[in-house]
Chains A and B, each alone.
Chain A
Amino acid sequence: MAATSTSTSLSINQRRWKKFKGMRRGYYSLVILLGAYLLSFLLPLMINNKALLVSYEGEWTSPAARDFFGSLPFVGGLAPSSFDPGERYGLIGEQSEADYRKLQLRWEEEGSENYVIMPLYPFSPNEDITVTGNEKFIEPLQVDGNDNTRIFGTDDVGRDVLARMAYGFQVSMSFAILIAILEYLIGIPVGAAMGYFGKWLDILMQRFMEIWHALPFLFLIIIIVSFVEPTFTLLTVLLVIFSWLGIATQMRAQFYRERSRDYVAAAVSIGVSTPKIIIKHILPNTLVPIITFFPFAVVGGISALVSLDYLGFGLPPPTPSWGQMIGVGLSNITKYWLVVVPFGAMFTTLTLVVFIGEGIREAFDPKVFSRLR
């Protein structure tokens, strides 16, 4: 194959990046997915039943911004932190959280100087029929009791499907990325140590990993979660405990092969310290399969979470999650949108991740198959 590039000054990684960008599909998938994920951190300002801005008797407040800052450190939708009771805005006798949609209508009717600016889509993922205006099983694009259009309808307890789907995206992605990173943090050092040091450490760890491999891991997680109240942390720990093996196995094989190369022997003979050999000399040579595997680790995390949520052993309710939504849809099988919407979201997300993965794999693959006919 004749190289078309005339420039020779590009480093290997720059060339890979160029190749990756050259494959439009993977590159655009990355742009879209990354953009959507970053944007999803702004969800409390875009899809929320709390006002972006309330101007009441000359005073400005922003309950949505408070939600936004409250949700920042981690995922988990809308923590019911501090709130403004309805009384604060002149709804006499209302001790509970102000209903900003109602407030807006009321002030508009009164023609008062106070006003409310609502987010783009003024519904929360967790508000159900207990809030006036919400109804069960509203079909997509139909209106609710307050004449508001529900783009993807509502579910069996009157929660907005679009809002839940959007927040579910944020939860799924954060969860999957976190798990993939933790898997790598455990798998890489363990696999490297096994491959590099070998001997009893390798034999012992291999036995251990064989045992771990034989376990039906998702099933065990379900058993454990059925005993213990699930939390975000517990689920993360459990999934990582059972899924770091793949990375470790790959790393072990890579290190095992690289260790016998001449450049390692050379480094040892001039007295380079062991940590330096491992980190500076061998590690960079072993990262290619690990990097190309990352998107698929994310896929695995999303699938595992969706499956656990569907069975009811995932994140504690009412966390918005695609698995729980599909589960509700399956028990209300005539309400097609309850399954189609979360599945569509999951399908789109996973497809984008797969396209990114394919792009990366292609960009890193030096192998060119040639065939004589």
Chain B
Amino acid sequence: MLQYIIRRILLAIPTFFGATFVVFFLVQFAPGGPYEQQLNALRKGQGSEGAGSAIGSENMSIPPSQLEALQRYYQVNEPIWARYMMWLGLYPRPTNDYLAELDEPRNVGGGFRVIVKKKSDGQLAVYSAENPTEELSDWYIDPSSKANSVWVYQRTISGIFTADFGTSFHYRKPVTELISERLPTSLQFGLISFVITYVVCFYLGTQKALRHGSAFDVVTSSIVFIAFSIPGWALGAVLLVLLGGGSVLAVFPTGGFQSNDYETLTLIEKIADRAWYFVLPTIAYTLGGFASITLLMKNSLLDTLGQDFVRTAYAKGLRENRVIWMHAMRNSVIPLVASIGGIIGIFLAGNYLVEVAFNIDGIGKLSFEAIVSRDSNVFFAFAVISIIITLVGSIISDFMLALVDPRIRFS
């Protein structure tokens, strides 16, 4: 068992690398990616900022030093594998990158100054400006295209594995901080939807199996299938217009997460307020999840009810409720339990469509807006989080399956 789980986790590692590499590669090499965009912005910016000189000329050349700084920032001259490893945090990346003139002190932030001088053997070295005899071994030097200047920088290991997703260009804050601010909102919706989905599906699936072929069964089948096929956010949009908007009925709020005066409310009022805001988005969230789990539950229970041990239980005269709940049910919930991992992934990953439609400040909306404002570090982080949640979900599923089903022995 333990061995199986360990093997399962080890197998997820190459998948993680593969999936993150695809994301990284796609974004880096898509035409018009972050680097090209900055380049274009610089070109255009010069046209308009240059006070009348050559306005709008797209082919304005960028000063070599600026271009070089940009290239160094995006590390476009490094091979793709090195950039990928830096991004992951497995390979040191240059930080504190400064263009320094030879023999001139250079301010490198934090009130600290360095100076680049030639050593006796003709090699360049970095010294502390205050104490010119002290050679700084943690500073590195790269040649520059500018005469008499070099790039000085430090190296750090920092990336996804050290929980460093970089800084958001738009919010000018670390991405980790941005996401942790908004994560609780998404998690609340995710967990509530998860619980509701399972309770409803368990009950519905059981009833459908016990009343297989009845009108109830046929009608609910159609309903869950239609619910499955309609995008949740679209139904949410209709409910918002019909029940939350100003046009028909104003029963629910027009989106958002809580009332403006939320902080002043008493505990009970707080709960009521939150619930009032949660109704419509939760419907949108849960809509798609019903079909698969309900049918899983139904088919599984039907299969069990047709088996010999159930016949035996009836034959020895047990009451129907006891047969169903004590004998059949334990065997029937196995697939339901095994599906938990996949479902939890869907709910926890933050549904950006619903969040955008209802104007909820969760990680989904944050990431979608990051795409619009081309804030690549933020949507990178969201993609990586989605991948991790998916992989962890599938491990949890396998683990649960092994845990609840005594017939499964992995060896």
Contact = CB atoms under 8 A, between A and B. Distances in A.
Interface stretch (A122-130, A207-215, A243-251): A207-215
Q: Is the interface of B mostly helix, strand, loop or mixed?
A: helix
Contacts of A219: 352, 367, 379, 382-383, 386
B367 A329 contact: no
Contacts of B228: 299, 354
In the complex, which of the residues A228, A330, A347, A373 has the most CB atoms of chain B within 10 Å of its own CB atom? A330
A226 B320 contact: no
Interface stretch (A68-76, A78-86, A187-195, A303-311): A303-311
B104 to A, nearest CB: 41
A276 B339 CA distance: 38
Contacts of B18: 207-208, 210-211, 214
Contacts of A336: 241-242, 245, 247-248
Contacts of A299: 228-229
A311 B306 CA distance: 47
B349 interface: yes
B238 A340 contact: yes
Q: How large is the interface on A (under 10, 10 to 19, 20 to 34, 35 or more residues)?
A: 35 or more
29 contacts: A215-B22, A215-B23, A216-B349, A216-B382, A216-B383, A216-B390, A219-B383, A220-B383, A223-B379, A226-B371, A228-B30, A307-B353, A310-B357, A311-B356, A333-B241, A334-B246, A336-B247, A339-B240, A340-B242, A343-B237, A351-B226, A354-B222, A354-B229, A355-B222, A358-B225, A371-B305, A371-B306, A372-B305, A373-B314
B238 A339 contact: yes
B12 to A, nearest CB: 9
Contact of B245 (A215, A333, A371): A333
A216 B19 CA distance: 10
Contacts of B387: 214-216
A27 to B, nearest CB: 15
Contacts of A311: 353, 356, 368
A92 B241 CA distance: 46
Interface string B150-168: 0000000000000000000
B245 A220 contact: no
Contact of A369 (B246, B302, B386): B302
A307 B15 CA distance: 28
Interface of A: 207-208, 210-216, 219-220, 222-224, 226-228, 296, 299, 302-303, 306-307, 310-311, 326, 329-330, 333-336, 339-340, 343, 346-347, 350-351, 353-355, 357-358, 369-373
Given A207-B14, A330-B357, A214 B241 contact: no
B33 interface: yes
B30 A224 contact: yes
Interface in B332-372: 349, 352-353, 356-357, 367-368, 371-372
Interface of B: 14-16, 18-19, 22-23, 26-27, 30-33, 212, 221-222, 225-226, 228-231, 233-235, 237-238, 240-242, 244-248, 254, 302-303, 305-306, 310-311, 314, 320, 349, 352-353, 356-357, 367-368, 371-372, 374, 379, 382-383, 386-387, 390-391
A357 B387 CA distance: 31
Contacts of A211: 15, 18-19, 22
Contacts of A296: 229
Contacts of A355: 222
Contacts of B390: 213-214, 216
B14 to A, nearest CB: 7
B374 A226 contact: yes
Nearest to A353: B229
B234 A326 contact: yes
Contacts of B237: 326, 329-330, 339, 343
B227 to A, nearest CB: 10
Given A219-B383, A222-B371, 14 more contacts: A208-B18, A211-B22, A214-B18, A214-B387, A216-B349, A219-B367, A299-B228, A310-B233, A311-B356, A330-B241, A333-B241, A333-B244, A333-B247, A346-B234
B19 A214 contact: yes
B70 to A, nearest CB: 18
A311 B30 CA distance: 20
B306 A227 contact: no
Contacts of A208: 18
